[in-house]
Amino acid sequence: MQTALERLVAQSQRIVFFTGAGLSTESGIPDFRSPSGLWTKMKPIQFQDFIASESTRQESWKRRFSGDRTIQDALPNVGHKVVAQLINSGKATSVITQNIDNLHQDSGIEESKLKVIELHGNSTYAECLNCQKRYEMAFLEEQFKAQGSVSDCLECQGIIKSATISFGQSMPEEAMQRAQSETLACDLFIVLGSSLVVYPAANFPELAKRNGASLVIVNREETPLDGIADLVLHEEIGTCLSILL
Ligand code: NAD
């Protein structure tokens, strides 16, 4: 017998996924707000503090290169694979993600097709905040280990920062626009592993629902948007999605 989720997926022509840190916990990356989440261990660095202070910048590189390789070593899990499969088969058009771990790309969604929309950037590389020159983390790590700091941009002396969007930093305009048009064009919007409390990202599920799409939320805990969803599954993402593989 088909589950409610299988039925909704079968009936839809244009699915959009919306993913949060909960999708990657089954790959071993802790989320932020669960009891064992990252925020219980380390306070995030605000963008303004990163810009204002050289020592804060070096503190952020120290955290990055301190030996915890959880994100770098993580591999896509069943949830990522189901999302990739539905996108590559054309059933889903894109994934809007709050994650910064590159696991959607690693699960086989082609980067050139712009189907992964990153709202909070990507932690697997860095960029100059002035000229946008890209720096690979391996290069910066080598520099940090050799001289105890990461230098400014080789081209323009601008500040180099991991390509993530920090608290206090403005949202990436192009990604926000693409996320909005994908949301408005979908007929089924599926949230996977997000507490739905981080705005403006959490506007998208509400927008999809207001625009006539069905809304599914798969999250271990309750979210503020459970009340407007067509289907809410308080379950583990892997267990719940493996039937779609
Ligand atoms: P969040 O930490 O606020 O919420 C994650 C939610 O997922 C929680 O409600 C939790 O109950 C649920 N969850 C965890 N594991 C689950 C599982 N296996 N099955 C079902 N539900 C599960 O995450 P958020 O809403 O994405 O917002 C946090 C911010 O943290 C985002 O901006 C993101 O950029 C950043 N972040 C990203 C990563 C990553 O890239 N993997 C990791 C930590 C934080």
C-alpha separations of 237 from 185, 208, 232 in Å: 25, 21, 12
Per-residue pLDDT tens over the stretch 40-81:
567 889 999 999 999 999 999 999 998 678 888 999 999 999
For residue 26, the ligand 1 atom closest to its alpha carbon is 18
Contact 182, 93 (CB under 8 A): yes
The pTM score is: 0.93
Q: How far is the CA of 196 from the centre of ligand 1 (A)?
A: 9
Lowest-confidence pick of 14-23, 25-34, 77-86, 233-242: 25-34
- Structure tokens, 160: 């180099």
Q: Report whether residue 38 contacts ligand 1, using a CB cutoff of 6 Å.
A: yes
Contact 95, 188 (CB under 8 A): no
| CB atoms near residue 91 (< 10 Å) | 16
**Which residues belong to the active site?**
120
Task: For residues 157 and 150, give the distance between their C-alpha atoms in angstroms, rounded to a whole number.
Answer: 12
Q: How far is the CA of 142 from the centre of ligand 1 (A)?
A: 30
Per-residue pLDDT tens over the stretch 154-193:
999 999 999 999 999 999 999 999 999 999 999 999 999 9
Task: For residues 5 and 185, give the distance between their C-alpha atoms in angstroms, rounded to a whole number.
Answer: 20
Q: Report whether residue 194 contacts ligand 1, using a CB cutoff of 6 Å.
A: yes
